Structure 1
């Protein structure tokens, strides 16, 4: 079978990870435990997740003309991602995410940098990639107007897309109407839809942490993992979900397998490091079946 074509339109960041034994008080300086730099950005994370599972992935985004940007371009190419639609911005720096790891959870602050230059006009240069896709994924770490434009393009051309509304921002309702699926976490879902989530009942796939995901008023479970770092769990889920949907997997099975992929990812430090191959997902599924 041909590899499904997944196009990701979104952010490319370098993650700056600091692990601490406790959070500092206001005005306090304290010594952290470890520091690492790892590739990240919701868009790039989702692209890597889909590629490792076996998708043919194209990434549309921007990096800065700096060492971080060059490292990230090389990394994405090494992950078998088509980087021909990633350009180097000559004015803005590469996006970064400051991540504090504390008690196996994270707090994140993003500086978008070149991600802010992923405009409608820029994405329009690569519309052929979008129109040739089996499925498109978008997140909210690029300008909102770009998301709206991309939703219109996909809607007009019957290209299915997944909208991961993270971070949560208000959007015109027709963007949600055009999406194949919308994948917030619980907090994002409450912010965007509140008590009106029944309006998008058949589109909403809400990730609910260690409990798995909620779809059509049904909880689809995940696997209890030995958590090391939850950074990138949602991105792994979204990239995997896109891959399985584009592979014609029934939706509840696709959600379950995406949960399993995320359960493997959080057993490692960093957003992308533990993202699994399709073989690793199948092995875990076998372990689950054997244990039942």
Structure 2
């Protein structure tokens, strides 16, 4: 059986991670327990997730001409990922992510570095990869113009597009109409719909109504299907019907596991979703597979190091 080919267009970062017992208050200093330097970036993480689950993966992105960039590329090549589409920027440092892990949660600040130098022309030079792809997977840690070019090339080649809108920002209608599957989390769903975050934690009934309304709004704006990741609550998805009308919201419960590190959980989900769809699975089945991949990831430390293999995924039962 031929392996599906997934093209990922996105970021590569070095993750600088500090583990602490609790996050400091404003103006407070706390002592960390451990510090780590690990390969990361949403694009690279999702590429590793898809590769470990059995796909052939090509990554398009940018790194600096520095020791960090060399380390990031070596990690990807060790996984068997095609990095010919990753350009090396001579006068810019590689992207960095500063991550604080505390109380089974994380806080992340990203400095884009070379990721911000990925241009539409860089993406266009890799047009042959899109023609050979089964799925194209894109995120928003690179310039929007590069994202739009990737989506344009995918549509021109008749390839399904998954857009993970993180970090979140309002998106143009022309881009949304060209996306097959949009994968926000609950907060990103509000931002993409150009709504402010809720001022306080909403009651469950109100949060559920806001979730359904946000999904229906995106489907009405032309997105073919929306999959919302909900952390410990699992995921929810909806599809536009053949007449272009928003379909109903379907819930997929989370897999209950002990949590070690949530960094990269969404990337595990998106990488697995891409593989499942590239294999021809229906969306509901693909979401269930993605849920399992994310569950395995959070039991392990490190965004890329914690990604499950296909054999590990298949041993897990919902």
TM-score range, shorter chain: over 0.9
For residues 176 and 254 of structure 2, the distance between their equivalents in structure 1, rounded to whole angstroms, comes to: 26
Q: CA deviation at 1:55?
A: 0.1
Hey, what does 2:232 align to over in structure 1?
A: 210
Residue 259 of structure 1 aligns to a residue whose secondary structure is helix
For residues 127 and 8 of structure 1, the distance between their equivalents in structure 2, rounded to whole angstroms, comes to: 13
For residues 54 and 130 of structure 1, the distance between their equivalents in structure 2, rounded to whole angstroms, comes to: 19
The TM-score normalised by the length of structure 1 is: 0.95
**Structure 2 segments unaligned to the other structure (5+ residues):** 196-212, 239-248
Q: CA deviation at 1:93?
A: 0.4
Residue 210 of structure 1 aligns to a residue whose secondary structure is helix
Q: CA deviation at 1:196?
A: 4.7
**1:147-178 deviation digits (Å, cap 9, x = unpaired):** 12222222233221100000111221121111
Q: CA deviation at 1:20?
A: 1.0
For residues 232 and 25 of structure 2, the distance between their equivalents in structure 1, rounded to whole angstroms, comes to: 29
**1:197-248 deviation digits (Å, cap 9, x = unpaired):** 3144451100000111101211112210110000000000000000010011
Matches within 5 A, 1:126-275: 126-193=126-193, 195-201=213-219, 203-216=225-238, 217-275=249-307
**Structure 1 segments unaligned to the other structure (5+ residues):** none
Q: CA deviation at 1:251?
A: 1.1
Question: Which contiguous aligned blocks of 4+ residues in structure 1 show a shift greater than 4 angstroms?
Answer: none
For residues 5 and 175 of structure 2, the distance between their equivalents in structure 1, rounded to whole angstroms, comes to: 22
Hey, what does 2:203 align to over in structure 1?
A: none
Q: What RMSD over aligned residues (CA atoms) do the two structures have, in Å?
A: 1.2
For residues 269 and 215 of structure 2, the distance between their equivalents in structure 1, rounded to whole angstroms, comes to: 20
**1:70-105 deviation digits (Å, cap 9, x = unpaired):** 111111000110011112110110101000001010
Hey, what does 1:94 align to over in structure 2?
A: 94
* Distance 1:38-1:198 versus aligned 2 partners, 3 A rule: same
For residues 71 and 91 of structure 1, the distance between their equivalents in structure 2, rounded to whole angstroms, comes to: 17
Q: CA deviation at 1:31?
A: 1.6
Would you say the 8 A contact 2:19–2:100 is kept in 1?
A: yes
